[in-house]
Amino acid sequence: MNPFKINYSSNKSGARVGILETAHGTIETPFFMPIATYGAVKTQSSKEIEDLPSDILLSNTYHLYIRPGTKILEEAGGLHKFMNWNGIILTDSGGYQVYSLEGLRKINPDGVTFQSHLDGSKHCFTPEKVVEIQRSIGSDIMMMLDVCPPGEASKKEWIEALNLTTQWAKKSKKHYDLTKPIYGHHQIISPIVQGGTDLDLRKQSALELMNLDCDMHAIGGLAVGEPKEEMLKVVEYLDSILPKDKPRYLMGVGTPADLVESILNGIDMFDCVIPTRNARNAQLFGFDGKINIRNAKYRNDFSVIDKHDFSPISNQYSKAYLHHLFRTNEILGLRIATEHNLKFYMHLMRLIREQIKNDTFEKWAKTFLERYNEE
């Protein structure tokens, strides 16, 4: 049974609103996932993420495998119980992190061998093992192991990555079908489309992976250094290739403008470190653009952090106070900025869903993109 149902589709763009059913709840698309790499969103508790509100978060297979390890996770009863989170969990396969260990990893047809970034110990990820690790984690949505080359990779590297990704996806799906969930709840599994910015390669990858008949499709290998125009070209093209009746997940993207432009091209799911990482570096997002709260001009600016009514915490404190917290390295500053940015992202996604339902999204998006300051 298809866990995804489209309730609204625009006839002016690829934008749509749907419902994705998982073992730990139903979520309306399009949505954005806060990053909980190690099973925690930095500076926020599970309850605070729930109260954003967010029904889903993303954790990372590689990092959870390294620490705390599958033995601890299984003893805890899975990641949901370990971190006291009753919502949906999606786990990335860890392929991107392993690929980033340049000089510490070696890729072969069976998988990838690598050294831990912590202690140098040697490990091996095969497509089958990555499925097993995610069984131990108990995530609601699992990603297949893929090869994610950097943005400056050659076409030859893209082809090699694509071919290995397809081979590994077939092995992943076979092992997924042969194994059962450890904690009794159903887990969705998704392949990841690769191919760099070459449209023919992207089409080849998508068609090969569609043959596996999985419940969703992810688009990887973007936001890795390529020009934004190239990224959007790939997203727009894949909107015409990937099946309409299954959710599309654009991995690692992005800025508020990226979200809006990608939703116009049929994307349903997003994750990115930008709202939380940038918050810890004193950058706040809002409907009028971005501000760096460390800037001296905010030292005596006693206006509220944000005048728009999407976050109570942003109306409780002044820019001057948050500026002071960052200047004095107070942890509260990181917490306020992180909550502010995540609430902005959640509000933005709610607003987008409303605009799609009202058949006004394209006009709203044009105004938003013209006004929004990405600089």
Q: Which amino acid does the sequence have at 330?
A: E
Band of residue 373 on the pLDDT scale cut at 50, 70, 90? low
pLDDT at position 97: 78
**CA end-to-end distance (rounded Å), the chain:** 44
Identify the weakest region by mean pLDDT among 96-110, 157-171, 270-284, 325-339.
96-110
Domain layout of the chain by residue ranges: 4-272, 279-369
Mean pLDDT of the chain: 95
65, 72 contact by CB (below 8 A): no
pLDDT at position 374: 57
pLDDT at position 151: 75
255, 371 contact by CB (below 8 A): no
Residues 64-90 have a mean pLDDT of: 98
Measured N-to-C along each axis, helices 199-210 and 228-239 cross at an angle, to the nearest 10 degrees, of 40
CA atoms within 13 A on the CB side of 151: 11
Residues 361-368 have a mean pLDDT of: 96
- What predicted TM-score, i.e. pTM, was given to this entire model? 0.97
pLDDT at position 284: 97
pLDDT at position 105: 83
pLDDT tens across 88-117, in order?
999 999 877 777 777 778 899 999 998 888
Helix, strand, or coil (residue 47): helix
pLDDT at 375 over 60: no
pLDDT tens across 206-241, in order?
999 999 999 999 999 998 888 999 999 999 999 999
pLDDT at position 138: 98
pLDDT tens across 108-160, in order?
999 999 888 889 899 999 999 999 999 999 999 999 999 988 778 899 999 99
pLDDT tens across 253-264, in order?
999 999 999 999
Give the CATH fold of the 4-272 domain. TIM Barrel (3.20.20)
Q: How far lies 63's CA from each of 6, 28, 36, 98, 122, in Å?
A: 34, 28, 10, 10, 14
Residues 287-302 have a mean pLDDT of: 95
Distance from C-alpha of 163 to C-alpha of 203, rounded to nearest angstrom: 13
**Tokens standing for 205?**
């990858």
- Cis ω before 30 (30° cut-off from 0): yes
pLDDT cut 70: percent of the chain above it: 99
Active site residues: 92, 271
